[in-house]
Amino acid sequence: MRAVNSDRRMQVYGALLLLPAAILLGTFAYLPTIATLIDSLFLPGIRGEPPAFGGLANYQALIEDATFWKVARNNLVYALGTIPTSIALALGMALFVNARLPGRGFVRMAYFTPTILPMIAAANIWMFFYAPQIGLFNNLLDVLGIDGPNWLGNPRIALFSVIMMTIWKEAGFFMIFYLAALQSLPPDLQEAADLEGTTRWSFFWRVTFPLLMPTTLFVMINALINAVRVVDHLFILTKGGPNNATNLLLYYVYENAFSFFDRPYAATITVVILVVLAIVATVKFTVLDRRIHYQ
Partner 1 sequence: MSRSTYASPSISASRIQMPSLETVAAWLLALVWIFPLLYAVWAAIHPSDFVASFDLFAPLTASNFIDAWNEAPFMRYYLNTFLMVTGILIGQFIVCTLAGFAFARFPVPGRDVLFMLVLIQLFVFPEVLIVENYRIASGLGLVDTIAGIGLPYIASAFGIFLLRQTFKTIPRELEDAARIEGCSWMGVLLKVYVPLAKPTYLAYGLVSVSHHWNNFLWPLVVTNSVETRPLTVGLAIFSAPETGVNWATISAATLLSIAPLLIAFLLFQRQFVQSFLRVGIR
Partner 2 sequence: MTTSMKSILQGVTLAGVLMAGTQASAQDDAVELTLYYPVAVGGALTDVIDGLVEDFEAEHPDIEVDAIYAGNYDDTRVRALSAIEAGDAPQLSVLFSIDLFELIEQDAIVPFDDVVETDEEREWLDSFYPGLMENGQLDGETYGIPFQRSTIVLYWNKDAFEAAGLDPEQPPETWDEMAEMASTVREAHDDDDQWGVMIPSTGYPYWMFQALAFQNGHRLMSDDGTEAYFDDPAAIEALEYWVALAEEHDAMPDGTIEWGTLRQNFLEESTAMMWHSTGNLTAVRNEADFDFGVAMLPAKEQPGSPTGGGNFYLFKDSTDEEKRAAMTFVRWMTDPERAAAWSMETGYMGVSEAAYETEALREYVEEFPAAAVARDQLEHSTAELSTYQGGRVRRALDNAIQAALAGDMAPTEALQQAQQEADAALRRYAR
Identify residues 235-254 at the interface with partner 1 (CB under 8 A): 235-236, 250, 253-254
194 binds, among partner 2, partner 1, none (CB under 5 to 8 A by kind): partner 1
H or E stretch at 125? helix 119-130
Whole-angstrom Cα Rg for the chain? 24
- Does 79 sit near partner 1 (CB under 8 A)? no
Q: Which does 288 bind (CB under 5 to 8 A by kind): partner 2, partner 1, none?
A: none
Residue 58 in contact with partner 2, rule: CB under 8 A: no
Does 72 bind partner 2 (CB under 8 A)? Our answer is: no
Angle (CA) 216-218-223 rounded to 5° is 90
Q: Between 163 and 192, how does the x/- string for binding to partner 1 read (CB under 8 A)?
A: -----x--xxx--xx-xx-xx---x--xx-
d(CA 89, CA 237): 24
Helix axes 31-39, 263-282, angle to 10 degrees: 130
CB-based contact 223:83 (threshold 8 Å): yes
Of 124 and 154, CB closest to partner 1: 124
Q: How far apart are CA 202 and CA 7, in angstroms?
A: 58
Given 225, 241, 242, 288, the residue binding partner 1 (CB under 8 A): 225
Q: Which of 263, 232, 292 is nearest to 54 (CA)?
A: 263
260 belongs to the binding site for partner 2 (CB under 8 A): yes
**Member of 1, 2, 47, 294 binding partner 2 (CB under 8 A):** 47
E-state strands within 157-251? none
Binding positions for partner 2, rule: CB under 8 A: 20, 46-48, 131-134, 142, 149-150, 152-156, 238-239, 241-244, 255, 258-262
